[in-house]
């Protein structure tokens, strides 16, 4: 074996090792986060009171976010990046609730109503991000997927419920489809008001550019077993910002 051949083999081995290390370090560990969600989250809400009494699990949540702060997101696949930022938003929201618990609504955190959504407190890859940065500046801007609205959770009653498992790149499509279907079939998305008129979640008003057409039913009907009229006039369901705690 001549010197040039040995050099080529050495380069190939080094590149292969580099790719292996990069692939290994790019994976995000969601195991502990998944255990916490399974323990404290269900279809009725989040067991904040029970969770707040468990100092170990509170520290676990902090350690999860500290670990995620070091994740090299650029090394992840697009699906994994999308899943990561959804999980980051939801975990950071949980963390900020516990830092101010007990509380009646996240809208009252800070001197100005809703200011918590604009506060830079999430550490990631040397940056400090706000909840709005993660949702609007990264997720919606980079992926332009309206289903994201039904995956991120704002810790409030009218918000689409927090999923009781982490989002994973390997099954993200199925998870987002299920989240959207569950929301579309719920009275959070649609109900008839006292006058018998259609009323839809204000999410469709605030983010109307993200949804096709001028009528919310046009989007929801893709996920509903019983389609709604797309010609009937409608009102908005007043958003309930009270904490989405288990009753």
58 CA to centre of own chain: 19
Mean pLDDT of the chain: 91
**Confidence at residue 247, expressed as pLDDT on a 0 to 100 scale:** 84
In a domain, residue 243? The reply is no
Closest CA to 83 of 182, 156, 176, 183: 176
Q: Three-state SS for 128? A: strand
Which residues make beta-bridge pairs with 198?
A: 192, 234
Report, as an integer, the average pLDDT of 105-126: 97
**Confidence at residue 165, expressed as pLDDT on a 0 to 100 scale:** 98
In a domain, residue 22? The reply is no
Distance CA 26, CA 80 (A): 9
Distance CA 75, CA 78 (A): 9
In a domain, residue 16? The reply is no
Into how many domains does the chain fold? 1
**Confidence at residue 18, expressed as pLDDT on a 0 to 100 scale:** 39
Report, as an integer, the average pLDDT of 11-29: 48
**Confidence at residue 36, expressed as pLDDT on a 0 to 100 scale:** 98
Q: Three-state SS for 234? A: strand
Report, as an integer, the average pLDDT of 63-81: 98
In a domain, residue 247? The reply is no
Distance CA 103, CA 108 (A): 8
**Confidence at residue 4, expressed as pLDDT on a 0 to 100 scale:** 46
Q: What is the 3-state secondary structure of 48-72?
A: HHHHHCCHHHHHHHHHHHHHHCCCC
Closest CA to 154 of 94, 84, 85: 94
For 180, the token pair is 């959207």
Q: What global pTM score does this model have? A: 0.89
In a domain, residue 10? The reply is no
**What is the domain extent for residue 228?**
28-237
Quickly state the pLDDT bin for 246 (edges 50, 70, 90).
very high
Report, as an integer, the average pLDDT of 194-203: 92
Distance CA 217, CA 240 (A): 21
Q: Check residues 7 and 231 and name the one with the higher pLDDT.
A: 231
Distance CA 70, CA 124 (A): 6
In a domain, residue 204? The reply is yes
pLDDT in tens, 146-163: 999 999 999 999 999 999
Distance CA 76, CA 95 (A): 24
**Confidence at residue 2, expressed as pLDDT on a 0 to 100 scale:** 56
Q: Three-state SS for 164? A: coil
Report, as an integer, the average pLDDT of 112-124: 98
In a domain, residue 99? The reply is yes
Which helix (H) or strand (E) is 237 found in, with range?
strand 234-237
In a domain, residue 242? The reply is no
Alpha helices in 69-211 (DSSP H): 78-99, 131-132, 140-143, 172-184, 203-206
């Amino acid at each position: 074996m001549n010197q040039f051949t040995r050099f080529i083999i050495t380069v190939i081995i080094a590149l292969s090792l580099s790719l292996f290390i990069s692939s290994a370090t790019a994976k995000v560990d969601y195991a502990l986060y998944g255990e916490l969600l399974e323990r404290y989250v269900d279809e009725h809400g989040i067991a904040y009171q029970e969770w707040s009494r468990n100092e170990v699990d509170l520290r676990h949540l902090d350690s999860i976010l500290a670990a995620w702060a070091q994740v090299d997101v650029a090394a992840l696949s697009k699906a994994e990046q999308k899943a990561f930022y959804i999980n980051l938003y939801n975990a950071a929201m949980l963390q900020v609730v516990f830092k101010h618990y007990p509380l009646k609504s996240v809208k009252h955190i800070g001197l100005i109503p809703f200011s918590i959504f604009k506060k830079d407190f999430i550490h990631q890859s040397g940056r400090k991000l706000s909840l709005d940065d993660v949702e609007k500046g990264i997720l919606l801007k980079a992926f332009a997927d309206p289903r994201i609205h039904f995956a991120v959770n704002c810790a409030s009653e009218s918000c689409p419920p927090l999923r009781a498992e982490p989002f994973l790149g390997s099954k993200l499509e199925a998870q987002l489809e299920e989240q959207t279907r569950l929301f579309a079939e719920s009275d959070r998305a649609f109900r008839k008001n006292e006058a018998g008129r259609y009323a839809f979640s204000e999410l469709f008003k605030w983010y109307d550019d993200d949804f096709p057409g001028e009528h919310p039913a046009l989007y929801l009907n893709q996920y509903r077993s019983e389609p709604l009229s797309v010609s009937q006039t409608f009102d908005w369901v007043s958003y309930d910002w009270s904490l989405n705690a288990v009753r």
